[in-house]
Amino acid sequence: MNKYLKKWGKLIKETALRSSVGIIYMSLVIAAILLGREYVYALLSAMALITVYEIVNMEFKRDALWKKLIYSFVGGILWILLFFVSVKVFLVSLFVLFFLWFFTYAVLLKKEESVFASSYYMFFFLLVYVLVGLYIGIDIYVSKGKMFFLSLFLMVSTFDVFSYAGGKTMGKTKLVPTISPGKTWEGFITGWLALTIAEVIFWLLGLWKVEPYTLGISVLLLAPVFLTGDLVESVVKRKADVKDSGFIIPGHGGIWDRIDSTIASFYIMWLLIYIEQVVQNGLL
Amino acid sequence: MNKYLKKWGKLIKETALRSSVGIIYMSLVIAAILLGREYVYALLSAMALITVYEIVNMEFKRDALWKKLIYSFVGGILWILLFFVSVKVFLVSLFVLFFLWFFTYAVLLKKEESVFASSYYMFFFLLVYVLVGLYIGIDIYVSKGKMFFLSLFLMVSTFDVFSYAGGKTMGKTKLVPTISPGKTWEGFITGWLALTIAEVIFWLLGLWKVEPYTLGISVLLLAPVFLTGDLVESVVKRKADVKDSGFIIPGHGGIWDRIDSTIASFYIMWLLIYIEQVVQNGLL
């Protein structure tokens, strides 16, 4: 009996922490989106810089602080190039910096073992993944407007909340035990159903402005993509053998943990919007 | 005495094979560049597709042939998107395919250990590196003309031939023993000197059309970048524990082994040309 109470006590405490963090996060997001373009840019930039710092802390957790700061600084420079210049300049600069790092370590410092370490290649891969992911969010915001952008964030939250609730109350069949032991098929399906309802409501209200076929495709794909974005972050965290991706919110993962599904949703929605435009106007 | 003869015999045989492969390769390159734009596009596309196949064979050497063909096919599709559509569509599609792969393996096939394998992340990283590298070669060709493009290939060959010759005749101090045991500082410096002479001659002839300050920077940076491009390929090969990157030319590595320095040179020259344009015309 005592044990039972303890279990429920822990669950309530966990849910309360989770909810307050979620509410603070969503308040910031909603405020930025309603306040206008500059605030959205600032929000995405803040997400980009903090996530880069978190990735650096995962991939190079044993390195000295000054090294971590240099790697984070490089990530910051790359975000600025992506944001103010172009994807091409961003990518070319990324690989030129990669050469600079490679030459310095292998030839000048004679630390040949470093250039064999997977964490560096992983770091460059994740830089492209996270920075480009947040950057194309801007395209979605600009082309579809603030209410569409807001709907997407609300849909991610809906999926998160209902997957969690469904998993905690009905969860039995583990989904991906070695990657994320808390996730169950029951939770995932609950999240998917809630997401579908939210999506259809937003569509009927005219906030989620997409063609009917895009609605159909996104009902099918968004939930698996949200889940995948979350799992990618878990795998990276586990590969790096750290528990939390971040440092800002104690006991609650990091910023990347918050925005992992959002980043993934930007990719799939950007592509669906692009296909919509090609269907309507042809290529070019 | 016999041993001495044997050593020279081996060296001559090796040099003869190396030279004939080099001559065939350079004849193809020169022919394509002189024949015109479509041939250059075909050449770069062929390089892209074969290199992708080689990378697949390195990263997934233990996989079944049909899997290797699917991965190569994905690389081919990505090249087409990059070539005919845009860098953005290429990158977004790459990550959407990454999600598709991730979800299929982790959730549907229950092969969770696969999504922890570094080789997949390495594969996606290398796809971006090699495909974008060859793609920006087109920009260099278009903006600077065929003679400039040809000069760059000739400069890579000059560096290769003289590094090799310098290393074989004077080589003593190993450069990066664990990555590429045959490379020496003496060879590298010989290659660098020969490259500098070739570069200045091409510049004086008006083929290497760059501003004097770009000439200065490229004299400083091209040789280290050529070397680094080569070493990146060696590290990837060694990490994957294979001897040759390719299958087309027996005993002589693969196509990637041939074009590793070229890809690296495209990155640095694209950036230097971009900076030149910004200096002349301002941003935008």
DSSP, residue by residue, A132-165: HHHHHHHHHHHHH-HHHHHHHHHHHHHHHHHHHH
Average pLDDT over all residues of chain B = 92
pLDDT single digits (tens) A72-103 = 999 999 999 999 999 999 999 999 999 999 99
The answer on pLDDT for A173 being more than 60 is: yes
pLDDT single digits (tens) B24-53 = 999 999 999 999 999 999 999 999 999 999
A147/A154 Cα distance (integer angstroms): 10
Interchain CB distance below 8 Å, B107 and A227: yes
Q: Is B215 exposed, middle or buried (0-12, 13-18, 19+ CB in 10 A)?
A: middle
B175/B177 Cα distance (integer angstroms): 6
DSSP state of A22: H
Q: What residues of B are in contact with residue A128 (Cβ under 8 Å)? A: 91, 128
* Closest residue, chain A, to B179 (C-alpha): A112
The shortest CB-CB distance from A271 to any of B92, B102, B268 is to B92
The shortest CB-CB distance from A224 to any of B103, B267, B274 is to B103
Interchain CB distance below 8 Å, B176 and A106: yes
Q: How far is A126 from chain B (nearest CA, A)?
A: 9
Q: Please state the rounded mean pLDDT for residues A156-162.
A: 95
> Given this model, what pLDDT does residue A245 score?
57
The answer on pLDDT for B224 being more than 70 is: yes
Asked if residue A265 lies in contact with residue A226, where contact means CB atoms within 8 angstroms, the answer is yes
The answer on pLDDT for A279 being more than 70 is: yes
Q: Please state the rounded mean pLDDT for residues A23-51.
A: 95
Q: Helical H runs in chain A?
A: 2-35, 37-59, 65-84, 87-103, 118-144, 146-170, 185-204, 212-239, 255-281
The shortest CB-CB distance from A96 to any of B85, B267, B283 is to B267
Query: For the whole model, what pTM was predicted?
Result: 0.93
pLDDT single digits (tens) B147-159 = 999 999 999 999 9
The answer on pLDDT for B106 being more than 80 is: yes
Q: What residues of B are in contact with residue A177 (Cβ under 8 Å)? A: 112
In this prediction, what percent of chain B has a pLDDT beyond 90?
81
> Given this model, what pLDDT does residue B164 score?
93
The shortest CB-CB distance from B179 to any of A98, A106, A267 is to A106
Phi, psi angles (nearest 5°) of residue B211: -65, 155
> Given this model, what pLDDT does residue B250 score?
52
CB neighbours of residue A27 within 10 Å = 10
Interchain CB distance below 8 Å, A235 and B99: no
The answer on pLDDT for A250 being more than 80 is: no
B154/B203 Cα distance (integer angstroms): 13
> Given this model, what pLDDT does residue A19 score?
85
What are the boundaries of each domain within chain A? Answer: 2-281
> Given this model, what pLDDT does residue B7 score?
76
pLDDT single digits (tens) B58-98 = 999 889 999 999 999 999 999 999 999 999 999 999 999 99
pLDDT single digits (tens) A107-120 = 999 999 999 999 99
Q: Please state the rounded mean pLDDT for residues A232-247.
A: 79
The answer on pLDDT for B163 being more than 90 is: yes
- The answer, yes or no, to whether ipTM is higher than 0.85 is yes
Indicate the Cα dihedral angle B163, B168, B171, B177, nearest 10°.
Answer: 80
Average pLDDT over all residues of chain A = 92
Give the list of residues 6+ apart from residue B14 with CB closer than 8 angstroms, or none: none
